[in-house]
Amino acid sequence: MAMRLGLADMLSAGTRGVSRYTGTLLAVFVVQSLVAAACMFAVAMVLAQAFAHLPLFDDAVDGDLVALIWCVRYAQPSFVAIGGILLGALLLWQLASWFIVGGLYGVFAQRPEGRAETARCFGASGAATYLAYVKLALCSLPGYIVVLFALGTGASLVGTRIWHALTMWQLIGPLLLAMLPGLLLLHVLWTISDYARVELTLRHDSHDPGVVVTYLRSAAYVIRRPVTLVHGGLGWLGLLAVTAFYAYLAQGHPMYGTEGAITLFVARQGVSLLRMAIRVGVLGGQVELGRSRPLPPRRVEAKVDVKA
């Protein structure tokens, strides 16, 4: 019987994975940075169209609150357009992430050697599971609707209390308490999706498991093994900690001028890379645990049909 993996094993597997496939991590990060950069240039063009001739916007960017209010009121359509660009970038990344996550799971599962083999494995795995991941996302939708309902109900319960909050605790306490059920449910759903993806990747060639069955089996697995939730939760906490730490350090350092802008860019990219390493490390840990799961039922007939 296989040894039962614990949290420490998952964390060390994640760390090993990140250090072994640093190149893959960097490649994914470059892709993400390119999407972010494209987003930046699109936003810059929209802003320049509205404000290139108006020094008031320079003041706004340099922290003049009143100038910022004037600029936002003056160019509302531009800011709506920026919202659209942001949404588009997120949607694009969501679509890309199904391929990227499939690729990363494939690399961690097959442990290829060498740059070329790793790249081949990444691409093949990402492509092989892409459609299954899309189906999985559709399969998860009802759960997310329940999450939205839980979050909305929680917010409406504490709305008046928050409106009348006088201290940070009176604001954050009820809000956290009210959102907690929704957030916990969201975490559970995300974890289920993650382990379903691991299963779809690991067993794609050998068992070709069905998406719905895999989702349901993963739900049962996650509920039986709380370590999955703790491990994923630690990942989110790490992400939050890095972001909060950066916000704390950046506070009060507006970084004016070209030198400031470059410093800011480097710092932000560093923070993003660190967060991505955490996310990728979590994926590595999940693959390690996913290997130890009982095998899914074979869909032999499906394989036969395809060959025929």
By CB under 8 A, which span of 140-148, 164-172, 200-208, 221-229 interacts with another protein? 164-172
Q: Does 108 contact another protein by CB under 8 A?
A: no
Residue closer to another protein, measured from CB, 73 or 224: 73
Q: Does 245 contact another protein by CB under 8 A?
A: no
Q: Does 61 contact another protein by CB under 8 A?
A: yes
Instruction: Name the DSSP letter for residue 165.
Output: -
| CA separation for the pair 79, 84 (Å, rounded) | 9
Q: Are 93 and 272 in contact (CB under 8 A)?
A: no
Residues 24-53 that bind another protein (CB under 8 A): 28, 32-33, 35-37, 39-45, 47-48, 51-53
Residues 113-152 that bind another protein (CB under 8 A): none
State the minimum distance, in angstroms, from the CB of residue 6 to another protein: 24
Q: Are 129 and 204 in contact (CB under 8 A)?
A: yes
Residue closer to another protein, measured from CB, 174 or 296: 174
Q: Does 306 contact another protein by CB under 8 A?
A: no
Q: Does 216 contact another protein by CB under 8 A?
A: no
Q: Does 81 contact another protein by CB under 8 A?
A: no
Residues 265-284 that bind another protein (CB under 8 A): 265, 268, 272, 275-276, 279-280, 283
Q: Are 207 and 296 in contact (CB under 8 A)?
A: yes
Residue closer to another protein, measured from CB, 229 or 239: 239
Q: Does 198 contact another protein by CB under 8 A?
A: no
State the minimum distance, in angstroms, from the CB of residue 151 to another protein: 12
Q: Are 273 and 29 in contact (CB under 8 A)?
A: yes
**Identified binder of another protein from the candidate list 239, 291, 299, 303, rule CB under 8 A:** 239
Instruction: Name the DSSP letter for residue 251.
Output: T
**Identified binder of another protein from the candidate list 151, 178, 198, 222, rule CB under 8 A:** 178
Among residues 200, 209, 216, the alpha carbon closest in space to that of 286 is found at 200
Q: Kindly state the number of chain residues that form the binding site for another protein, as judged by CB under 8 A.
A: 78
Q: Does 94 contact another protein by CB under 8 A?
A: yes
42 phi/psi in degrees, rounded to 5: -65, -45
Q: Which residues, other chains included, contact 137 with Cβ-Cβ below 8 Å and sequence gap of 6+?
A: 98, 193
| CA separation for the pair 207, 205 (Å, rounded) | 6
Q: Are 96 and 35 in contact (CB under 8 A)?
A: yes
Q: Which of helix, strand or coil describes residue 73?
A: helix
Instruction: Name the DSSP letter for residue 116.
Output: H
